[in-house]
Amino acid sequence: MAVLDKMEAQLRPVETLMVPYPAKYITQASGEKLVVHQLTREDVPHLLKAIQPLTTVEKDFYDVVGCRVVSELVGWMRYRVKDEYCLVGTVNGEIVGMVNGRMLTDKIGMSYHTLAIRQGLRLGAQLFAAKMEYHMDFLKQDEVWVVAESPNGFKRWMIEYELEPRFEQWHELGGVPTYVLTRKLWEKHKAAKCGGRRPVPEELLAVAKQMTLPSIYGQIPGYKRGE
Amino acid sequence: MREVGIVGVGHPPFGKYEGSLMAMLCEAAVAALDDAGLKTGAGHGVDQVLVSSMGASQVNRQTGVASALVDTLNLRPAMAETVENGPASGASAVKLGYMAIVSGMCDVVLVVGGERMRVLSGWEATDFVATMLHPEAEYAYGLTLPSFAGMFTRLIMAKYGVTERDLAMVSVKNHQNAMFNPAAHIQLVPDLEAITEDEDALTINPYVAEPLHLYDTCPVSDGAAAVVLCALDVKERFAKRPVKIAGIGQATDTHVVAEREVPTDLFAVRRAAERAYAMAGLGPQDIDVAELHDAFTILEIVEAEEVGFFPRGEGHLAVRRGETRIGGRIPINTSGGLKAKGHPLGATGVSQIIELVRQLRGEADGRQVKDAQAGLAVNFGGFGNNVVATILTREEE
């Protein structure tokens, strides 16, 4: 590890040791396997290439979510966010979506974003469930603060999980109303929402870690990478 | 009696529409007029416009939709009415257009069906659709269409041995068909084993109304579809050879489902089909392709029995034998059905008829049924309390 200059050392947040998220896989309705695994800072530049095309898509607020995710990931990569993490979903090695968040305290989780690149299989819902699983079952937190920036998100999280409204509490993403997944709600909805098996077979995990960039974006008709 | 045909169809993709209800209706209408070789504006030649929509006033806060459409498209001074008959609004509007032409009052009628439902959450959409149930005996107790379908499925399973896997097979078939229909909302094929047997099956295909799963129920869709009807005695005005409306039948049943003598029968489907067959001078054996109202997969199976394709209680066996697939004895829901193409309520009946027109014109591309001569559509309102059956036939040169 490179030696940090004094100023940089002072700028970086003090990090908490976080239990890693163990990879899992979920069979999709298409028969394909969605593998969810945790990224490191070193993976961020590659993941950004998958997200950047969506940062100008107005439909379903992909622009808002995409731009903020890029910012959050760059902030994490460059040590300007404390205790952030990122989970990525891949199908046949291709990046199909991601989720991120951070620990606000040891008891409270701060959900950032859920971005589904491939649409139609409810991958976003499964990735969101994986994120909540990380906070609740692995980080052992009591609650997670969640906001929605798109109607789809609101339907999937606030309504389907019956999240508790707690508007007096400010979420880090700004003035969007805050809702909370409590442990009681998690226990109520976990069985129906959170699927998957562990461990991921080595071969499947190796393919997942290739993280090939999406060649098709349903949100961008006619998209061709590099153009 | 004057004969009536369809000379134009317009069917933009179903799914999520970003514009207004009126913009969506206009897209479908213009596509149908183009297909018929008609133009908007002076000399348009449309005598009557009928718009079918169940929720325009309730969901989109717009009334007088047909009048607005006529003015927006510059089709004045055509007559205009909006038709509401629950999820059977579309076929009802086609029926009324047919009657207007047969009566001699009109030569050309434009029928446009449309619904913009994706502004609602799934719960809100379910509640809105449930407003067609009996207000005191059903709706007040929290009953919904999925809940009726779930109870109905249980009875059918117990009586005839239908399984959840049979229902999933219907779903997979319809999704496969939808892959050949660019207008279909859902463009993916579920894997039968993954949605029925896999360890994750209940996560990716959860129960919606047990024993019905997510993949047994239609999605909430925006969409519009339009047809141009004409008297066959003026067919020379149009660019395309008409597809004939050979028979229309409609029947009703008790509003309160619990009051039905046999709860597993869909009497109105049977009676509507019988009336349509009688009018067309055809029987179930003459039908080459069918669009049945599969808002829930169980309905495709039971409706196929009620319209006479299979003996009662044997529809699921035909599914197992592949008889309802394209290439089978009687292909059903080649468009993808409500299950995969989507079910924007007021558009659905029109959309079903468009699929038959495409099949009978030989324009159905990868889902074409070879040499189709006659098609049947069943548009199902309420939980089967108001059903319209329409039979189309290919007009010979």
Number of domains observed in the structure of chain A? 1
- Specify if B258 maps to a domain: no
In the chain, the amino acid numbered B49 is: V
- Specify if B48 maps to a domain: yes
What average pLDDT is seen over chain A?
Answer: 95
- Specify if A125 maps to a domain: yes
Beta strands B243-252 and B223-231: pairing type? unpaired
Tens-digit pLDDT profile for residues A180-220: 999 999 999 999 999 999 999 999 999 999 999 998 898 99
Q: Which of residues 73-132 of B touch A (CB under 8 A)?
A: 121-123
Q: Which residues of A touch B (CB under 8 A)?
A: 26-31, 59, 120-122, 126, 151, 154-155, 159, 192-197
- Specify if B53 maps to a domain: yes
CB pairs under 8 A between A and B: 57
Whether B385 contacts B254, CB under 8 Å: yes
C-alpha A193/C-alpha A132 separation (Å) is 10
Domain span holding position B80: 4-120+220-237
CB < 8 Å to B189, chain A: 30
pLDDT attached to residue B327: 97
The residue to which tokens 């295909």 are assigned: B205
CB < 8 Å to B200, chain A: 26-27, 195-197
pLDDT attached to residue A155: 87
Residues in chain B where the model's pLDDT stays below 70: 397
Q: What is the rounded average pLDDT of the residues A43-49?
A: 98
CATH of the domain at A64: 3.40.630.30
Confidence of residue A165 (pLDDT cuts 50, 70, 90): very high
| Local structure of residue B132 (DSSP, 8 states) | T
Does residue B195 sit at the A interface (CB-CB below 8 Å)?
Answer: yes
The residue to which tokens 């029925």 are assigned: B196
Alpha carbon distances (Å) from B238 to A186, B45, B113, B230: 61, 11, 22, 9
pLDDT attached to residue A120: 85
Number of domains observed in the structure of chain B? 1
- Specify if A163 maps to a domain: yes
Tens-digit pLDDT profile for residues B72-89: 999 999 999 999 999 999
Domain span holding position A57: 18-208
Task: State yes or no: pLDDT of A2 exceeds 80.
Answer: no
What number is the ipTM of this complex? 0.83
CATH of the domain at B76: 3.40.47.10
- Specify if A1 maps to a domain: no
Six token digits for residue B64: 């007088």
Question: Looking at chain B, which runs of residues are DSSP E strands?
Answer: 4-10, 48-52, 79-83, 108-115, 207-209, 212-213, 223-231, 243-252, 289-291, 374-381, 386-394
Task: State yes or no: pLDDT of A140 exceeds 90.
Answer: yes
Task: State yes or no: pLDDT of A227 exceeds 90.
Answer: no
Task: State yes or no: pLDDT of A151 exceeds 90.
Answer: no
Give me the DSSP letters along B298-319.
Answer: HHHHHHHHHTTSS-TT-HHHHH
Nearest chain A CA: its distance from B91 CA (Å): 29
SS (H, E, C) B94-117: HHHHHHHHHCCCCCEEEEEEEECC
Alpha carbon distances (Å) from A4 to A7, A8, A14, A73, B111: 8, 6, 14, 21, 72
- Specify if B351 maps to a domain: no
Other Cβ atoms less than 10 A from the Cβ of A23: the count is 19
Tens-digit pLDDT profile for residues B215-254: 999 999 999 999 999 999 999 999 899 999 999 999 999 9
pLDDT attached to residue B395: 83
SS (H, E, C) chain A: CCCCCHHHHHHCCCCCCCCCCCCEEEECCCCCEEEEEECCHHHHHHHHHHHHHHHHCCHHHHHHHHHHHHHHHHHHHCCCCCCEEEEEEEECCEEEEEEEEEECCCCEEEEEEEEECCCCCCHHHHHHHHHHHHHHHHCCCCEEEECCCCHHHHHHHHHCCCCEECCCCCECCECCCCEEEEHHHHHHHHHHHCCCECCCCHHHHHHHCCCECCCCCCCCCCCCCCC
Tens-digit pLDDT profile for residues A83-94: 999 999 999 999
Residue A82, CB-side half-sphere exposure with 13 Å CA sphere: 12
- Specify if A134 maps to a domain: yes
C-alpha B9/C-alpha B190 separation (Å) is 30
Six token digits for residue B368: 């074409």
Could you say which of B18, B121, B205 has the minimum Cβ distance to residue A29? Answer: B205
